[in-house]
């Protein structure tokens, strides 16, 4: 008697899909795991509130408050998810030994040595983000676009420091570091001058990118956003601004966060558009709900559609940098992380298991009737059996038995914090 995987494999083979090859390939696709789900985007360098137009809601017990706790929590997540994890850090997660505090403009590689040790021990790469929020130098809601030259200078120095740290990450781990610039700069209400802040933002990012770095090691990105909490009327780094900036600056990569657009705009449709022009593109995988941009990623239609476009536009998946970006403080944070990472893995697996060349042929030959029928047929194929095999080969549970592990961790570790 054949196993469920063997029988599923045969069904996919009839469509020309080699599921063994898909599983082998997916194991090597890096996906960045964001450290900030573990502590509600607080970090270790300040006591103030979260600012910058983002907000966590909920007070589920057990959040990490020390680097040791956060690292232990990340380890727990890594043990529960299939696939290849890359670590994604924000600058606010610098680790200072006693009396060693350095402000954002004075950060050095040594403040991240413990993270490098963590990554090297686990043989994973690191992505990085300057932190342009939750800091007193965010003046009147502005950082790099502030009219105050001293404020701009502080944040430019922060950006430059982060480039040096990104290069350090790449050199230490042997994996290129994707460094993403995002600011929450904007205005709550109708501006009198929309262009001035954008001209200053452009100059400031150019000043940051003037810091020397090896383009094969550091991949600078720029991320847009349509609005944030308290910056409803105007954001400086709008979609047109960031996409134009990346297009006009060699080596700068556009980063699209699918929670950062109007709800009727779909990043799945933007993926082929940007890959038509840019050699490399970066994506934040999240789930927008009405005005919120940061719910836990689920295996839903748009998540799958984004995975399909990445796979179809870039078969080798070497031109797209994928990172999760969300934070939920109302549920167990280990579970939030795990569900999101596994959901994106499921979406990639499903996309890789589709007869994409055959579907394209149907479209190109104008056979839209059969295209619809075949696409519907695909939905009933036993992807769950392929998923189980993939998880088994990765040494993790295919079903939700990982959740027992999380509940045990909550009882043994999180509830004692
Ligand atoms: Mn994002």
Every domain of the chain and the residues it spans: 28-352
CA of 284 to the centre of ligand 1 (A): 5
CA of 51 to the centre of ligand 1 (A): 15
Q: How confident is the model at residue 48 (pLDDT cuts 50, 70, 90)?
A: confident
Name the 3-class secondary structure at 128: strand
CA of 338 to the centre of ligand 1 (A): 18
Q: What pLDDT is attached to residue 157? A: 98
Residues 6+ apart with CB under 8 A from 290: 263
* Section 138-145 average pLDDT: 97
Give the other-Cβ count within 10 Å of 281's Cβ.
24
CATH architecture of 28-352: Alpha-Beta Barrel (3.20)
Catalytic residue (choose from 9, 86, 225, 346): 225
Catalytic residue flag (residue 225): yes
Q: How confident is the model at residue 218 (pLDDT cuts 50, 70, 90)?
A: very high
Whose CA is closest to 336, among 242, 403, 381, 414? 403
The residues with which 32 forms a beta bridge, in sequence order, are 86, 323
* DSSP annotation string for 309-323: HHHHH-TT--SEEEE
CA distance 43 to 36: 7
* DSSP annotation string for 132-193: BSSSTT-BTTBSTT-S-HHHHHHHHHHHHHHHHHHHHHHHHHSS-EEEEE-B--EESS--S-
Considering only 49-63, 99-113, 203-217, 363-377, which range has the smallest mean pLDDT?
Answer: 49-63
CA distance 297 to 12: 26
Q: What pLDDT is attached to residue 53? A: 84
Catalytic residue (choose from 90, 219, 260, 346): 260
* Section 269-283 average pLDDT: 98
CB 307 within 8 A of CB 344: yes
CA of 25 to the centre of ligand 1 (A): 26
Q: How confident is the model at residue 287 (pLDDT cuts 50, 70, 90)?
A: very high
**Percent of the chain scoring above 70 in pLDDT:** 100
CA of 350 to the centre of ligand 1 (A): 24
CA distance 350 to 344: 10
pLDDT at 70 over 70: yes
Catalytic residue (choose from 127, 157, 172, 325): 325
Catalytic residue (choose from 257, 305, 388, 410): 257
Name the pTM for this structure: 0.97
Catalytic residue flag (residue 223): yes
pLDDT at 283 over 70: yes
Catalytic residue (choose from 103, 292, 393, 405): 292
CA of 333 to the centre of ligand 1 (A): 18
**Percent of the chain scoring above 90 in pLDDT:** 96
CA of 389 to the centre of ligand 1 (A): 31
Catalytic residue flag (residue 284): yes
Catalytic residue (choose from 284, 305, 402, 410): 284
Catalytic residue flag (residue 325): yes
CA distance 374 to 194: 48
Q: How confident is the model at residue 54 (pLDDT cuts 50, 70, 90)?
A: confident
CA of 373 to the centre of ligand 1 (A): 36
pLDDT at 98 over 90: no
Name the 3-class secondary structure at 39: coil
Catalytic residue (choose from 45, 157, 223, 305): 223
Please provide the average confidence, as pLDDT, over all residues in the chain. Answer: 97
CA of 90 to the centre of ligand 1 (A): 12
CA of 257 to the centre of ligand 1 (A): 5
Whose CA is closest to 252, among 297, 293, 202, 295? 202
pLDDT at 310 over 90: yes
* Section 271-290 average pLDDT: 97
Name the 3-class secondary structure at 408: helix
The two three-digit tokens of residue 227, written as one number: 């609005």
Catalytic residue (choose from 155, 182, 337, 387): 182
CA of 258 to the centre of ligand 1 (A): 8
The two three-digit tokens of residue 195, written as one number: 């262009």
CA of 7 to the centre of ligand 1 (A): 40
Catalytic residue flag (residue 294): yes
Q: How confident is the model at residue 1 (pLDDT cuts 50, 70, 90)?
A: low
Catalytic residue (choose from 40, 157, 294, 385): 294
């Amino acid at each position: 008697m054949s196993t469920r995987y063997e029988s599923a494999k045969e069904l996919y083979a009839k469509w020309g899909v080699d599921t063994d090859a898909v599983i082998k390939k997916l194991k090597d696709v890096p996906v960045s795991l964001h450290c900030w789900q573990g502590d509600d985007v607080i970090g270790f360098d300040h006591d103030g509130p979260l600012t910058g137009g983002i907000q966590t809601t909920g007070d589920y017990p057990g959040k990490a408050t020390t680097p040791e706790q956060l690292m232990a929590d990340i380890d727990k997540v890594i043990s529960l998810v299939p696939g290849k994890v890359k670590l994604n850090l924000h600058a606010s997660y610098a680790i200072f030994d006693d009396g060693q505090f350095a402000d954002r403009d004075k950060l050095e590689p040594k403040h991240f040595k413990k993270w490098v040790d963590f990554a090297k021990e686990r043989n994973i790469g690191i992505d990085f983000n300057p932190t342009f929020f939750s800091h007193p130098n965010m003046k009147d809601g502005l950082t790099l676009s502030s009219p105050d030259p001293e404020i701009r200078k502080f944040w430019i120095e922060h950006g430059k420091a982060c480039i040096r740290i990104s290069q350090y990450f790449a050199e230490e781990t042997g994996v290129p570091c994707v460094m993403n610039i995002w600011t929450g700069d904007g205005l709550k209400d109708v501006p009198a001058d929309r262009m001035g802040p954008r001209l200053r933002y452009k100059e400031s990012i150019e000043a940051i990118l003037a810091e020397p770095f090896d383009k094969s090691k550091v991949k600078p990105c720029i991320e847009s956003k349509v609005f944030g909490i308290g910056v409803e009327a105007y954001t400086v780094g709008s979609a047109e601004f960031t996409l134009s900036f990346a297009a006009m600056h060699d080596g700068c990569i556009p980063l699209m966060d699918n929670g950062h657009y109007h709800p009727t705009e779909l990043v799945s449709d933007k993926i082929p558009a940007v890959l038509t022009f840019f050699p490399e593109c970066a994506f934040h995988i999240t789930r927008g709900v009405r005005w919120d941009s940061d719910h836990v990623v689920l295996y839903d239609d748009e998540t799958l559609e984004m995975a399909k476009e990445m796979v179809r536009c870039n078969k080798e998946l070497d031109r797209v940098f994928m990172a999760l970006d969300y934070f939920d403080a109302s549920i167990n944070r280990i579970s939030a992380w795990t569900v999101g990472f596994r959901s994106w893995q499921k979406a990639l697996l499903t996309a890789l298991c589709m007869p994409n060349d055959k579907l394209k042929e149907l479209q190109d030959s104008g056979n839209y009737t059969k295209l619809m029928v075949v696409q519907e047929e695909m939905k009933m194929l036993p992807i769950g059996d392929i998923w189980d095999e993939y998880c088994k080969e990765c040494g993790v549970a295919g079903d939700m038995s990982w959740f027992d592990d999380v509940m045990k961790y909550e009882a043994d570790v999180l509830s004692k914090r």
